[in-house]
Amino acid sequence: MLKIKNLHASIDDNGVLKSILKGINLEIKAGEVHAIMGPNGSGKSTLASVVAGKEEFEVTKGTVLFNDEDIEDLAAEERAHKGIFLSFQYPVEIPGVSVTNFMKTAINETRKAKGLEEMPAKEMLKLIREKSELLEIDRKFLSRSLNEGFSGGEKKRNEIFQMAMLEPKLAILDETDSGLDIDALRIVANGVNKLKSKDNAVLVITHYQRLLEYIVPDFVHVLLDGRIVKSGGKELAHELEEKGYDWIKEEVNA
Ligand code: ADP
Ligand code: MG
Ligand code: MG
């Protein structure tokens, strides 16, 4: 599904081009859950941003293929329409727009981009009911104004609901450094586990091993200074939790 080959990316840091990703290779197949771990500043969020197509980063070398298509020239929105979903971004507050109405708009815009008609209201309601039941979201929540006064957990619930409605092929979850409290963590993990299927893939990005106790990855990769320096199974996450990252740095420098 996702094939990243020798990816290099930089950012303009006050007029100086700063290299952040320095040759990433990664392949994610449908049905797989991958985790990327690494110390703060290693480039995890940059990798997520580059795959999602955020424009502040410049790809200087390498390719990103999504279902065998080179997506370099596609805008973030077009990538989203193709099924790439990036979560845990800074959430927007839209006063006066309910969770439901926001979701309806999001669904219909995606359909429009694919040349489809708006989803009939009945079908939309059925979809909303189905997904909200799956994620145990109550009706009151659906009529609330988007993110206004949401707790951390409610923001996460809303994001996961968004993901459930949009049914992305590749969901990228970037856990911010501040981390999630335990309730938010459970909401996210339950949602992801319920939405997982043989046809979609998940990339979980995290600084800590905590989230991976709930979302069990098939593969774990360690990102260090813009490179994936080690890959393994879920046991690698436990090893990192126990021993930190220094031993890997030593391994790399040896
Ligand atoms: P991580 O998510 O692993 O903590 P990031 O991808 O956020 O790492 O950052 C990787 C490196 O790129 C860090 O050194 C960070 O300071 C730098 N960086 C990220 N975004 C910017 C930016 N907008 N301007 C300048 N430097 C940035
Ligand atoms: Mg960081
Ligand atoms: Mg980050």
CA angle 168, 98, 122 (to 5 degrees): 65
pLDDT for 206-240, tens place per residue? 887 888 888 999 999 999 999 999 999 999 999 99
> What pLDDT score was predicted for residue 188?
83
Looking at the structure, give the CATH architecture of the domain made up of residues 2-83+172-181+202-253. Answer: 3-Layer(aba) Sandwich (3.40)
> What pLDDT score was predicted for residue 91?
57
Q: How far apart are alpha carbons 65 and 46 in whole angstroms?
A: 17
> What pLDDT score was predicted for residue 231?
97
What are the tokens at 177?
């450094």
87 CB less than 6 Å from ligand 1? no
Sequence spans of domains, the chain: 2-83+172-181+202-253
The dihedral over CA atoms of 159, 90, 172, 245, expressed in degrees to the nearest 10, equals -130
> What pLDDT score was predicted for residue 168?
93
> What pLDDT score was predicted for residue 235?
95
pTM of the model: 0.91
Is residue 64 within 8 Å of 71, Cβ to Cβ? yes
> What pLDDT score was predicted for residue 85?
92
> What pLDDT score was predicted for residue 114?
86
> What pLDDT score was predicted for residue 209?
83
> What pLDDT score was predicted for residue 213?
87
Q: How far apart are alpha carbons 16 and 119 in whole angstroms?
A: 47
CA angle 81, 118, 142 (to 5 degrees): 80
> What pLDDT score was predicted for residue 95?
76
Q: Which residues does residue 18 pair with via DSSP β-bridges, in sequence order?
A: 11
Question: Length of the chain in residues, anyone?
Answer: 254
> What pLDDT score was predicted for residue 157?
83
Query: ipTM of the assembly?
Result: 0.96
Please choose from 17, 22, 46 the residue to mutate so as to test ligand 1's pocket, defined by most ligand atoms within 8 A of CB: 46
Please choose from 10, 14, 18 the residue to mutate so as to test ligand 1's pocket, defined by most ligand atoms within 8 A of CB: 18
144 alpha carbon – ligand 3 mean position (Å) = 29
Could you list which residues have their CB under 5 Å from ion ligand 3?
Answer: 44-45
Q: How far apart are alpha carbons 157 and 141 in whole angstroms?
A: 10
Q: Give pLDDT < 50 ranges for the chain.
A: none
CB within 8 Å of 185: residues ≥ 6 apart: 210, 211, 214
What are the tokens at 1?
């599904």
> What pLDDT score was predicted for residue 89?
59
